[in-house]
Structure 1
């Protein structure tokens, strides 16, 4: 039998393709071909332990057969390469296409192919063929590497162009609103001061009238100061790089609430269990300071202030709800309130910067924020956090 098979030792691939249930006679035929094949072959099990190796494989790996048997194939090849190779072989009834491999001990590129065998024992066995990487394969691998680099560069450039266009639109809107909102208070100041004139030449009654104008000027100056402070805060907070670390949201909320002067409100805040997340703790405290101060600012005069914060986990994200019982806002303003300088209640103090800051900082985390409300029915803000950033959901 062996004399007949010797001239056909090159045909192990063909033999393995028709080898389904290995009988005793087939096993002898396999051994005759396997051990004398010029190609380098390993037999491994489902755990990627080497069951056997032919002489060519021993020379290829520069290791004796006795040493190879029982070793993990991962000792020579990367775990990812062997896992992908065996997974591919388990899906087809023939040899896999060539996989790029790297012989770790000698730091050289090689080609790997595999086929799944089906012995009568039912065990999962794979034959692995190893060969030197051909010059054509090396050229192809380099071309593929360069192509992947070019594709990634194009994606980054596309994102940069998109982000730049978005930033430009925001800057245009910013410039327009700044020109509108700052010019108003400045105009009032200028006109009021001009009308006051020289107070040394006027009678008492006229003086009182002119002092009223000075009060208008002072009020406008105060509005301008609040706007300027808000802009500085917005610029400083939104220009910071986000550094994500393990952050307990309960501690963040408690710190934000403590920073507010709420002596006029007793037991106003109810906080249920909040998650531990990967986030920038300092920036998140700014977010919750703005959300809580927003609830205070728009509290109703008809009922005591009440704010609740709780967590829910649904689908592919967790949700943080911040609900208050204030005066609310119109449903059609749900998106508009996150725009810079947007003010739905002109009679309440503010510059329209707090919620815009929240939206910007939340977006920088890769999260999102939504709002829902109706007039005199309170407001609800929902922060949506992907599960990748949730460490512990209590």
Structure 2
């Protein structure tokens, strides 16, 4: 009786871990497709799959050689594997008493002969599922292939861990926004949270990028177009995740304590254009900057502001005319008005307030995180400035940032230098 109680407790703990990772009733995950493709290629088999085992079902998050689906747990070969302490390698399943009566082996559902699986274990030690490869032919794996399968299983866990932390960050930001009249008031809490999670977010992703780089060096991969394609998809997914993390963390720190100083906007614009040169060139865009003054502000934040505005202007360009972005400024009695004008697709007047909200994307067909303009708004508020969105004559969007004179906030010697 005690042993049965222990088993039930262990299974309940495992299911709670699945819930923490959002894997109960999990749907297929495209970010894992390149991993299963690489697993099948590395092991020289037609089939590979990431399986999550819940209370009643085996849910396939990604599969190579067939479409992922859902299988009854009682029919699953991997439900046996998650109970094992080590990876499982079965050259001929008809000879293994753990599997020889399984419907995937007997012919009732399939005729699996070769089967190998590495467990997906979270940091607390609970097994969430497996990365498995299989074939209808008897075969074996070399030590290098077994090691590669284990590394790919760890890569799967890195992806799942990354998604979990990203979702926690997303939920935390949403909670801050909904429980505060203004997200801009939560600078300190967001800054502390960003510092806390940045390590947890970036470490798994660094592992993924490192593994992709090491696999890319293998001659068998370098000489195989399908393998290279799989690596490119893996790198694209990892890069997209990295960009999302950077955007979220940039937003969280945008309202942090400022280092106010004299900032030459012409120099900032030059740095931004240099940073975005690959994107600008790829879009065939032309970005110009004229009449930019020296203002008082935080140089890092103003660079992030301008980079977000120029990047958005290039990203949301029209396809029927060359993309043109113009950065300029005008002085009045209150300070300087910085403007970034483009000839792109424009922002409807009815959406101009909403587009400044966190995670808002007016065009889901254009890649982005929906964070850039929300970050711009935080930086604008931190500079006691204001922001306006208007039409560009002839089509497009012009964003105005009204930067006030801020001599009173400076140290006396810097204020005197500014006045001079």
The TM tier, using the shorter chain, reads 0.3 to 0.5
Please report the TM-score for the alignment, with normalisation by the length of structure 1.
Answer: 0.44
Please report the TM-score for the alignment, with normalisation by the length of structure 2.
Answer: 0.41
Larger Rg: 1
